[in-house]
Amino acid sequence: MYPAPFHYHRADSLQEAISLLSELGESARALAGGQTLLVWMKLRFDEPQHLVDLSRIPGLSDISMEGDEVCIGALATHAEITKSAVADAIPIVHDCGSGIADAQVRSRGTIGGSLGSADPSCDWPTLLHTLDATLTCVGSEGTRKISVSDLVEDIYTTILKPAELITEIRFKIPPANSGGSYTAFKRCAPAYPTASAGVQLTLADGDVCSDIRMALGSAGLKTITSKKAEDILRGSPLTKAGIDKATETIVAAAEPVPDQRGSEDFKRAVLHTLVKRAVDIAVRRCHGETIRGRHEYV
């Protein structure tokens, strides 16, 4: 199916993009890599009258490590992030970016578009929950910071205001003795994950878990987290019994939607496996092992 007719506008600056979106109102959509929006348009799930192309705006695809922080521009593509020094330094970032869809999608899709779509099956939102990321958003009313955990209101719905755009993503570089892992299960490379899990933790002496973040994707209408599950492991030595209990707790918080990718029970079973695998890899990385994470296929 072809999309409904629309007018194309190319913005050469951030302020021009915001002005265009403000002027055109509800009939306009911001276009980044187009890997989500154009699919929706072809299926007639969305029929905007105007597209404002952001891809030529300078400075929005930069990727850097500044002091103790990582800064990723919203227009950075999945492929650019995967090949960056950030992905080399923080393996969980490489885990996520390298497994998104196929090479064509990774070369066009952007991290900002992934966040702005508010699709619970997208990989980056789940990963960024484990890193407590903060988003910089710019609109006609100025600039504000939003925690990634506050961005999504409901499926496909964010708290972004009209004509407000995500411009960058920031998170702290994990401290020493830290390790993380992101893993997903999918039917084939171009498909969205059936389920995904991310874990980032820090170990103290005696394999005591001094801090941990856990997140599940494709497990509900939003990214699933559980402070209760994290508290089971935080402050205690990591044991099989503790990991099992934390896994049960966070999976119990999930609300997987049955669809063509699997039933609710099947997705819960997959989530159990993914969480335990992510914890195991994260711990081994804390101990200095070099492990290439990957997404699993049927």
- pLDDT category, 109, cuts 50, 70, 90? very high
Residue 276 in domain:
yes
CATH number at residue 25: 3.30.43.10
Predicted confidence band of residue 298 (pLDDT cuts 50, 70, 90): low
Contacts 24+ apart (CB under 8 A), 273-276: 273/185, 274/183, 274/184, 274/185, 274/195, 274/196, 274/197, 275/197, 275/199, 275/214, 275/216, 275/246, 275/247, 275/250, 275/251, 276/243, 276/244, 276/247
On the question of pLDDT at 269 being above 80, the answer is: yes
Instruction: Give the domain CATH number at 182.
Output: 3.30.390.50
Q: Which domain holds residue 48?
A: 7-53
pLDDT for 205 beyond 70: yes
Query: Which pLDDT value is given to residue 79?
Result: 98
- Could you tell me if residue 17 is inside a domain? yes
Q: Which of 33, 53, 73 is the endpoint of a domain?
A: 53
- Mean pLDDT of the region 127-141: 98
**Rounded Cα distance, 126 and 181, in Å:** 11
Asked whether the predicted pLDDT for residue 126 surpasses 90, the reply is yes
Last residue of a domain, one of 16, 31, 53: 53
Lowest pLDDT segment from 178-187, 192-201, 288-297: 288-297
Mean residue pLDDT across the chain = 96
What is the Cα–Cα distance from 115 to 99, expressed in whole angstroms? 17
Q: What is the pLDDT of residue 191?
A: 84
Could you tell me if residue 137 is inside a domain?
no
Q: Is residue 39 part of a domain?
A: yes
Tokens 């999608």 found at: 105
Question: pTM to 2 decimals?
Answer: 0.95
Average pLDDT (66-93) is 97
- What pLDDT does 139 receive? 98
Q: Is residue 172 part of a domain?
A: no
Checking if the pLDDT of 12 tops 90, the result is yes
Is 64 part of any domain? no
Asked whether residue 88 is domain-assigned, the answer is no
Band of the pLDDT at 72, cuts 50, 70, 90? very high
Residue 111 maps to a domain:
no
| Predicted pLDDT at 188 | 87
Q: How confident is the model at residue 293 (pLDDT cuts 50, 70, 90)?
A: confident
Residue 104 scores a pLDDT above 70:
yes
If one counts the domains in the chain, the total is: 2
Task: Summarize the confidence of residues 259-269 as an average pLDDT.
Answer: 95
| pLDDT of 271 higher than 80 | yes
